[in-house]
Amino acid sequence: MELAEQIFNIQSEEDFNQAALQVFQYQAKNIAVYKQYLDILKVDINHIQHYRQIPFMPIQFFKTQEIITSGLEAEITFSSSGTTGMVSSQHLVADKKWYERSFQLAFEQFYGDVKDMAILALLPSYLERTGSSLIYMVDDLIYRSEQAESGYFLYNHDELYDRLMELQEKGIKTVLFGVTYALLDFVEQFKISFPELIVMETGGMKGKRKEMIREELHDILSQGFGVSKIHSEYGMTELLSQGYSNGDGHFFTPNWMKVLIRDTNDPLTLIDHKKTGAINVIDLANYHSCSFIATQDLGKYHDDGSFEILGRFDNSDIRGCNLLVQ
């Protein structure tokens, strides 16, 4: 079976382990930055027998290095927003079809066939810059939606309100993707009751508002939209897959993506589930960049296979991850 088919048809822990080991062997030999990192750590790649033994590359490398299969060029480059003066992450994507396949299958796994639903997007800060992987995904979902009402909204909240009311009246399944501060702006202006609406909060205050805890934020949004819960998406520039939460802050991943928890004081050591630590992500869709990433998110893994995000820590708190970051 072709590796792409193998990755997107994972059905078991054994399937995942086999695919992860294949991807690791490929990247250890063909991704120059990752190969160098493994050499510095003195890793014998032939001794890796399980995905939990695979070293995870610090996410900061996406800010300072070109991470792509040797000999390939990027079809598209995604970049993080970052704040003024910060270096943005750059994700060089050699094959857009891998990304499209990943987000299409994941969205369908959690929410069903996109052609049967309206996709609305309130993502002003993402639309106002270039290089957003989220906009690329939402563009595709809107394109493949067969509902004429699908589309983007910037600051035209009146129009969004009218569109939501229209979709509710027609009984069309609707998903509203929204950056956090824009959703809050909307519910301060309008209060609706649309219990069937799926509100997909994508994160991001970006200095627009004071940060608030998830429970407080979701309570305000739930009341404003008249829904029982707020959904969330866990994604980032450096990943080609997303996790989704259906309302309690616990994220689930598609079958080709997995989250592990590492010790914040020893970045090469994984810790038991249920303990709080730093999040490592395996995203096998990152075939031509790096599938094994040590993020700056703090989190906890749960017995049901979900994980939650408990915060972030800055560069000064990352110990032992400064190799190659120059």
- Tens digit of each residue's pLDDT (9 = 90 or more) over 87-101: 889 999 999 999 999
Q: What is the pLDDT of residue 300?
A: 92
Say what the pLDDT of residue 77 is.
Answer: 96
Other CB atoms within 10 A of residue 83 CB: 8
CB 204 within 8 A of CB 83: no
Of the chain, the end-to-end C-alpha distance in Å amounts to: 40
Torsion region of 159: left, alpha or beta (phi above 0 gives left; psi -120 to 50 gives alpha): alpha
Q: What is the pLDDT at residue 220?
A: 95
> What are the pLDDT digits (tens) for 55-83?
999 999 999 999 999 999 999 999 987 65
Inter-residue long-range contacts of 30-36, CB under 8 Å, 24+ positions, other chains counted = 30/69, 30/70, 31/67, 31/68, 31/69, 31/70, 31/288, 31/289, 31/290, 32/70, 33/57, 33/61, 33/65, 33/66, 33/67, 33/290, 33/324, 34/67, 34/290, 34/292, 36/324
pTM for this prediction: 0.91
E strands along 138-268, which residues? 151-153, 173-178, 198-201, 231-234, 243-245, 251-252, 257-262
Tally of CB atoms within 10 A around 135? 18
Cα 36 to Cα 39: distance, rounded to the nearest angstrom: 5
Cα 92 to chain centroid distance, Å, stands at: 16
CB 230 within 8 A of CB 221: yes
- Amino acid in the structure at residue 283: D
pLDDT at site 324: 42
Which of 123, 120, 169 is CA-nearest to residue 147? 120
- State whether residue 120 is helix, strand or coil: strand
Cα 68 to Cα 286: distance, rounded to the nearest angstrom: 10
pLDDT tens by residue, 146-177: 999 999 998 899 999 999 999 999 999 999 99
State the pLDDT at residue 225: 97
Q: Which residues pair with 252 in a beta bridge?
A: 244
pLDDT given for residue 96 in this prediction? 94
Position 267 scores a pLDDT of: 83
Q: Please tell me the predicted confidence (pLDDT) of residue 319.
A: 41
Please check whether residue 258 is in contact with residue 120, taking contact to mean a CB–CB distance below 8 angstroms: no
Do residues 309 and 255 make contact, with C-beta atoms less than 8 angstroms apart? no
The first and second tokens of residue 189, run together, are 């202006």
- Positions in the chain whose pLDDT score sits under 50: 316-326
Closest by Cα among 80, 93, 92 to 296: 80
